[in-house]
Amino acid sequence: MTAGTAGAAHTQRIREFKMPDVGEGLTEAEILKWYVKAGDTVADGQVVCEVETAKAAVELPIPYDGVVHALHFDEGTTVDVGTVIIAVDTDPGAGPVGEAPGEAAAPAEEDDAEPQGRQAVLVGYGAAPSSTKRRARKQQPGVPAQSEPVTAGLQAELNGHSAPAPAATPVAVPVAPAAPAAVVPAAERPLAKPPVRKLAKDLGIDLATVVPTGPGGVVTRDDVYAAAAPAEAAVPAAPEVAVPTAVAPVAAFDAARERRVPVKGVRKATAQAMVASAFTAPHVTEFITVDVTRTMKLVQELKQDPDLAGLRVNPLLLVAKAFLVAIKRHPEVNAAWDEATQEIVYKDYVNLGIAAATPRGLLVPNIKDAGAKTLPQLATELGELVATAREGKTSPAAMSGGTVTITNVGVFGVDTGTPILNPGESAILAVGAIKLQPWVHKGKVKPRHVTTLALSFDHRLIDGELGSKLLADIAAILERPKRLITWG
């Protein structure tokens, strides 16, 4: 068997599984849990790990039969989409896996080999094999060639691992005088991780003009930010002000009594979405306090109804139904703003989001076509939605396409709040705690069940009159729930 044939057989035997794009163009995912280890036997379709994206936790099945050859990342590691995370030996009976004969000694044969077609991955197609090989850097005059440990460190850094410490060498490197910033030759593609390339693209920075400071000439985030800084920021201020000024105290940190947690996954996505929403959609929030005593009585009656036996019946169910009936009376509120075309998109369906607090952060899955569902159907889907969210099993599809949302802050004993819209939605209703309070009822002060509702809406879509009518109708239904029949 020739060296080339042995190398091909070795490649076909070890199959590599890359981190797929598990939902809507996400660029990275964190490995939460491995269900297998090196040496375990796996079958096509078997779940091998659970990963968390910015939207949900997803289980990944392996598309090969064989034995796990290697796990390339530990649990808790954030991995870029397209990066190999696990290798499977598809022919374990062929003996130990080793380096293919002649593979290391004859790299020239590999370069001269005929290019192969693109290799299919789980989602879409990967790059052609030839494009995944990183060409050697050109030797610069007077600069010693990179040693093998440095190259290994660079590769480890690109794969998301810490670079190994280089071994000490007796070669003395002469200290040269400071030279102008080196620019990577145009014929050579700068080395940078995918997130860094995206950052440079977003900031309008040409990576070829960025001075790399990372190991082995890798462009880092700091390098891109430094290149994006205004040129005048690098010019020292004129020494005309000689009067000393008071220096602001530097914030002190007590590391022994503090802890830092990286922001990633759902919490990172939520933070970015809320900032984008707060500074994109002009928010208006209105409040109303309402007597919901009759609604609370209806909840107790429905719990005894045989048609709702085994279903989750609570005040939130009737609040959701009241919200849907009010939207039916004012369909113009169910809309979205299309910034690209400068159009308002009116929707003839309501995907009702329910904000759920989970150990992974705030999730807002939605009930599709909620406005067309009966009360028992709504109760069923509401119960399943909340249970799935708390288990961390909500899929990305369940959290996309929402039109309006309800957030129940009352379960925490909070009276009300000013909720922030989910991006792309027109309104969000906050439901406060339901408490016994003194209330004027039929001319007398009596203890009644009272709550405060807060409605935030996008003022580009909903003006004050329309928003006020919507909130007033929700309150009117909860005050006299028979309106669910007469208005619904």
Structure tokens at 189: 């593609």
Beta bridge partners of 41: 67
Burial of 373 (0-12, 13-18, 19+ CB in 10 A): buried
Q: Are 90 and 65 in contact (CB under 8 A)?
A: yes
Burial of 329 (0-12, 13-18, 19+ CB in 10 A): middle
Looking at beta carbons, which pairs linking 362-366 to residues 24 or more positions away fall under 8 Å? Answer: 362/266, 362/270, 363/56, 363/266, 363/389, 363/394, 363/399, 364/399, 364/402, 364/405, 364/422, 365/389, 365/394, 365/398, 365/399, 366/398, 366/399, 366/401, 366/402, 366/403, 366/405
Q: Quote the CA–CA distance of 319 and 303 in Å, as a whole number.
A: 16
**Of 488, 450, 457, which Cα lies nearest the Cα of 471?**
457
User: Strand pairing partners for 356?
Assistant: 363
| Residue 153 · residue 163 · CB < 8 Å | yes
Q: Are 397 and 385 in contact (CB under 8 A)?
A: no
Pick the catalytic residue from 10, 441, 449, 459. 459
How far does CA 460 lie from the centroid of its chain? 27
- The rounded distance, in Å, linking the Cα atoms of 342 and 340 is 6
Question: CA-to-CA distance for 211 and 347, rounded, in angstroms?
Answer: 50
Q: What is the rounded distance in angstroms from the CA atom of residue 407 to the CA atom of residue 274?
A: 14
Determine whether 441 is an active site residue.
no
* Beta partners for residue 399, in sequence order: none
Which residues share a beta bridge with 438?
Answer: 447
Question: Which residues lie below 8 Å from residue 367, measured CB to CB, with a gap of 6+?
Answer: 351, 352, 354, 373, 378, 381, 382, 385
Q: Is 453 helix (H, G, I), strand (E, B) or coil?
A: strand
CA distance 13 to 42: 14
Kindly state the helix (H) or strand (E) to which residue 470 belongs, with its residue range. Answer: helix 464-479
Pairing of strands 366-367, 352-354: antiparallel
**Catalytically annotated residues:** 459
